[in-house]
C-alpha cells in the first residue's frame, strides 16, 4: 500500500521537501481511503505531480497546528471532513454528541463547530496572501445564504463568513485540477472566475452577464417567501447541462455560483479510484484505538455517483447532482481483487454501492443532451413514463465480483431504490439480491406511509413499498431463507401531523414492524425539506406546509412509531389523545396501547350506570361481565406483548 502523505515536518524532511505545494486541511482524522473526500483530493494533486501535505484536525485555539507544515507554495484546500461539523457535534435535539466516528478513538471534541470557517480564518491569519479554497459537504451545502438550524437563523454564504477565496462545490476533482494548474502557472486566484463548480465574491460591475439572480441575503433573512423562491432557483440551476450561473447579493458584494462542474466520465472515475491510497487510517492513531469510520467502508466499493431519486430531505441532489455516472466493470473488479489482498480481509465485501446502489445508468437518454427535468422527479410520486429500468449491468457486475477467488459473500448495504426494482420486468435482480446479497436484513427507506407526507419528502407512495415487500418475502421464501426488510422511518418531517404519525403507527402494527430506531427530521443546510421547515412553504408550489416545531410534538410523533415499547406507553397515550384517537387505547385487536390502570374505575362505572342495571350485580357488587373486572384497563406493557424484542424486524414471508 502507499506511503501516507506528510502530516508533520519530519515527514516532509524524510522526503527531502522544504515546502509543500498544497496543504489539505480536514476536520476528520487522516484516513487515506477513497471514501474520504480529502484522500481523493490529496491523492489527485499528488498524481498531478504536486507535493501535498495533510493537516488533520488541527488545534483551532492557536496557530501552532495550522502552520506545522509551513507555508505552502500555492495554496490550501480546506474541508470540515466527510460530514457537516454541526451534524457531527449535535443531535437533532441539539444535544452535544459524545462520539465522533471520524476521530481517533471515536471521541468527540477534536474539531470546532463550523470547522470550515474556523480553519479558513486561522489560515488567513497565519498566511494572509496564500489562496484558500474551501470545499466538501459543509462548504458545498452552505454556499448560498442558508437557514442554520443550530442558530435558528439565516446565515450568509460560508464564503463570506470564512473569508476564503473560492468555494469548490459538489464533487471537486475537476475544479481542483484546474485551480492547481492555474495557480502553479502563476495566475492570481482573484482572476479565477470562470471555473465551473466554484463560487466567488465580486462587485456589481464584475457580475457575469448570463446569470440568474435570487433574492439577497438581507431579503431571505427577513422574508420567508423570498427564501423559498430563492431555494427553488438554486435547485433548478443545479444541472450540469441546463443550469446557469446564479448570483446572490450579500451587502456590498455578490456571491456568484458558476455553472455546475461536469460529472466525471467513466474513465475519469476509474482513474480516481485507481489512485495509490493507503486504504486505512494513519498509524499515528493506532495507539488511540484507530478511527471507527473506516470499519464500514474498508471492504466496500463505490461504483457510482449521483442519484436521480432526489429525495427532498437528502443533500445528494445539491452536492453530487442527479445525473448518475458509473465506474467501469474492470475498475470495480480491480478494486475487489485489491480488497482480497488487504490485511484483515475475511472473504466479505460489505457493499458495492453508492448514493443508490442499484443505479448504473441515467434514468433516461434525454438527460445526456437536455439535462434532468426542472421541477420534476424521475420516481416520485410515480415513475416518469420515460424512466428506463435495467439491472442487467449491475447484476453482471455483482456476479463477477462474487466469483472472484477469496470472495465468500458480496453484500449490498448502501441501500437500493425498491420503487426502481419493482419497475424491472425481469425479476432476476431481485431473485439474486435475495439469494446472494442480503445479510439477514435488507435496509430500505419507505420513510412514511402517509401520501401527503411522502409527497413532501419527494418519495413514492407506500403502495410501492407494499408491492416490493410482497415480492421480497415471496423470493425469500422460495430461496428457503429467513430474511427481513428493515425500513428506515422518519418522524416530524414537514407535512407530518400527529394524525399522520398515528397512521404510520397503524401501518407498522399491521405489518408487524418494530423499528429499533426512528430518525427525527434533521434540518441540514441545502435541502428542500429544510427550506420547508424554515419557511413553512413548499418551494416547488409555494403552498403552505404544516411543520411540527415543538419538542413536545416531535416527541409524540417519534414515540408513536415505537408504540410497542413499555417506556413509551404514557407518551403514546398522550399522543393518541392529542390526535383525537382515543379509540386506539385499550385491549381491542386494533388498539396500539392498553389503557392506564385506574383504581377508581369500578366506582366511576357504577356512577354512570342507568336505572335498572344495579339489579344485575351479584351480591358482592361485582359486574358479571369480564370487561368490568378489577384488571380492566390495567397496563401490562405496551403494544405487542409489552416487550421490545430489541430487533427491528419486518413481516416474515
Q: At what angle do helices 329-340 and 392-402 cross, to 10 degrees?
A: 30
Dist. CA 128–CA 117, nearest whole Å = 15
Residue stretches of the chain with pLDDT short of 70: 1, 597-653
Tell me the C-alpha distance between 258 and 47, whole Å. Answer: 26
pLDDT given at position 610: 58
Q: What pLDDT, in 10s, does the model give residues 258-298?
A: 999 999 999 999 999 999 999 999 999 999 999 999 998 99
Question: Cα 496 vs. chain centroid, distance in angstroms?
Answer: 20
Please give the grid coordinates belonging to residue 135.
Answer: 470545499
Beta bridge partners of 31: 281
pLDDT of 292: 96
Contacts of 510 (CB under 8 A, 6+ apart): none
515, 522 Cβ separation under 8 angstroms:
no
Strands 519-520 and 484-491 turn out to be: parallel
Longest CA span, the chain: 104
Task: Enumerate the known binding-site residues for [4Fe-4S] cluster.
Answer: 307, 311, 314
pLDDT at 597: 63
Which pLDDT does position 629 carry in this prediction?
35
The grid coordinates listed for 624 are 358479571
Strands across the sheet containing 519-520? 441-447, 484-491, 519-520
User: What pLDDT score does 609 carry?
Assistant: 58
Instruction: Give 253's strand partners.
Output: 250
Q: Could you tell me where the DSSP H helices lie in 48-134?
A: 85-89, 115-126
- Residue 439's pLDDT is 87
Query: Is the backbone peptide bond immediately before 381 cis, with ω within 30 degrees of 0?
Result: yes
Say which residue the cell 509551513 belongs to: 70
Superfamily covering domain 9-198: Response regulator (3.40.50.2300)
- pLDDT tens digits, one per residue of 62-78: 999 999 999 999 999 99
| Eight-state DSSP code of residue 21 | S
Q: Angle at Cα 382 formed by Cα 381 and Cα 388, nearest 5°?
A: 135
Residue 516 confidence (pLDDT): 84
The residue extents of the domains of the chain are 9-198
pLDDT, residue 595, reads 86
End-to-end CA distance of the chain: 45
Q: What was the pLDDT predicted at 616?
A: 47
CB of 151 closer than 8 Å to CB of 142 = no
pLDDT at 606: 55
For residue 607, what pLDDT is reported? Answer: 56
Q: What are phi and psi of 184, to 5 degrees?
A: -70, -20
pLDDT of residue 603: 55
User: What is the helix (H) or strand (E) element at residue 254, kind and residue range?
Assistant: strand 253-257
**Binding residue ranges:** 307, 311, 314
Amino acid at each position: 500500500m502507499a506511503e501516507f502523505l506528510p502530516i508533520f515536518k519530519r515527514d516532509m524532511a524524510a522526503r527531502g521537501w522544504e515546502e509543500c505545494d498544497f496543504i489539505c486541511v480536514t476536520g476528520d482524522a487522516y484516513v487515506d481511503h477513497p471514501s474520504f473526500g480529502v484522500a481523493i483530493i490529496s491523492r489527485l494533486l499528488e498524481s498531478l505531480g504536486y507535493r501535498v501535505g495533510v493537516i488533520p484536525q488541527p488545534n483551532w485555539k492557536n496557530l501552532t497546528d495550522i502552520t506545522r507544515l509551513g507555508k505552502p507554495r500555492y495554496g490550501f484546500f480546506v474541508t470540515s471532513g466527510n460530514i457537516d461539523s454541526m451534524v457531527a457535534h449535535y443531535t437533532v435535539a441539539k444535544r452535544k454528541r459524545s462520539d465522533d466516528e471520524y476521530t481517533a478513538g471515536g471521541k468527540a471534541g477534536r474539531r470546532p463547530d463550523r470547522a470550515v470557517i474556523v480553519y479558513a480564518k486561522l489560515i488567513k491569519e497565519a498566511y494572509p496572501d496564500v489562496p484558500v479554497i474551501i470545499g466538501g459537504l459543509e462548504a458545498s451545502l452552505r454556499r448560498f445564504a442558508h437557514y442554520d438550524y443550530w442558530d435558528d437563523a439565516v446565515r450568509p454564504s460560508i464564503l463570506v463568513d470564512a473569508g476564503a477565496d473560492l468555494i469548490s462545490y459538489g464533487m471537486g476533482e475537476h475544479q481542483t485540477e484546474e485551480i492547481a494548474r492555474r495557480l502553479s502557472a502563476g495566475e492570481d486566484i482573484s482572476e479565477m472566475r470562470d471555473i465551473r463548480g466554484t463560487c466567488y465574491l465580486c462587485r456589481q460591475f464584475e457580475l457575469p452577464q448570463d446569470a440568474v439572480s435570487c433574492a439577497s441575503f438581507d431579503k431571505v433573512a427577513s422574508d420567508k417567501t423570498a427564501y423559498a423562491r430563492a431555494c427553488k432557483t438554486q435547485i433548478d440551476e443545479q444541472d450540469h447541462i441546463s443550469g446557469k450561473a446564479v448570483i446572490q447579493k450579500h451587502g456590498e458584494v455578490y456571491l456568484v455560483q458558476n455553472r455546475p462542474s461536469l460529472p466525471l466520465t467513466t474513465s475519469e472515475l476509474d482513474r480516481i479510484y485507481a489512485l495509490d491510497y493507503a486504504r486505512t487510517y494513519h498509524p499515528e492513531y493506532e495507539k488511540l484505538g484507530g478511527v471507527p469510520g473506516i470499519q464500514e467502508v474498508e471492504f466496500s466499493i463505490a461504483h457510482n455517483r449521483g442519484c436521480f431519486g432526489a429525495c427532498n430531505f437528502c443533500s445528494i441532489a445539491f452536492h453530487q447532482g442527479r445525473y448518475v455516472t458509473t465506474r467501469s466493470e474492470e475498475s470495480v473488479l480491480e478494486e475487489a481483487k485489491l480488497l482480497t489482498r488487504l490485511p484483515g480481509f475475511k472473504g466479505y465485501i460489505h457493499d458495492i454501492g453508492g448514493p443508490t446502489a442499484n443505479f448504473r445508468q441515467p434514468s433516461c437518454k434525454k438527460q445526456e443532451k437536455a439535462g434532468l427535468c426542472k421541477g420534476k422527479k424521475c420516481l416520485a410520486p410515480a415513475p416518469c413514463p420515460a424512466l428506463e429500468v435495467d439491472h442487467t449491468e449491475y447484476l453482471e457486475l455483482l456476479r463477477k465480483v462474487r466469483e472472484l477467488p477469496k470472495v465468500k459473500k458480496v453484500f449490498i448495504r448502501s441501500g437500493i431504490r425498491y420503487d426502481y426494482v419493482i419497475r424491472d420486468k425481469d425479476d432476476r435482480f431481485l431473485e439474486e439480491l435475495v439469494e446472494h446479497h442480503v445479510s439477514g436484513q435488507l435496509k430500505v427507506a419507505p420513510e412514511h406511509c402517509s401520501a401527503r407526507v411522502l409527497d413532501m419528502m419527494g418519495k413514492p407512495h407506500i403502495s410501492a413499498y407494499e408491492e416490493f415487500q410482497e415480492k421480497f418475502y415471496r423470493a425469500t421464501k422460495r430461496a428457503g431463507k429467513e430474511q427481513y426488510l428493515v425500513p428506515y422511518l422518519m418522524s416530524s418531517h414537514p407535512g407530518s401531523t400527529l394524525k399522520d404519525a398515528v397512521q404510520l403507527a397503524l401501518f407498522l402494527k399491521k405489518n408487524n414492524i418494530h423499528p429499533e430506531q426512528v430518525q427525527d427530521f434533521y434540518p441540514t443546510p441545502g435541502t428542500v425539506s429544510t427550506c420547508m421547515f424554515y419557511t413553512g412553504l413548499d418551494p416547488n408550489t409555494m403552498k403552505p406546509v404544516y411543520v411540527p416545531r415543538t419538542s413536545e410534538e416531535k416527541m409524540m410523533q417519534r414515540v408513536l412509531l415505537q408504540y410497542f415499547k413499555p417506556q413509551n406507553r404514557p407518551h403514546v397515550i398522550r399522543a393518541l389523545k392529542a390526535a383525537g384517537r382515543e379509540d386506539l387505547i385499550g385491549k381491542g385487536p386494533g388498539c396500539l396501547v392498553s389503557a392506564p390502570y385506574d383504581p377508581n374505575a369500578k366506582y366511576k362505572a357504577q356512577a354512570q350506570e342507568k336505572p335498572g342495571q344495579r339489579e344485575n350485580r351479584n351480591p358482592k357488587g361485582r359486574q358479571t361481565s369480564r370487561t368490568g373486572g378489577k384488571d380492566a384497563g390495567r397496563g401490562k406493557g405496551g403494544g405487542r406483548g409489552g416487550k421490545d424484542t430489541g430487533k427491528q424486524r419486518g413481516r416474515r414471508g
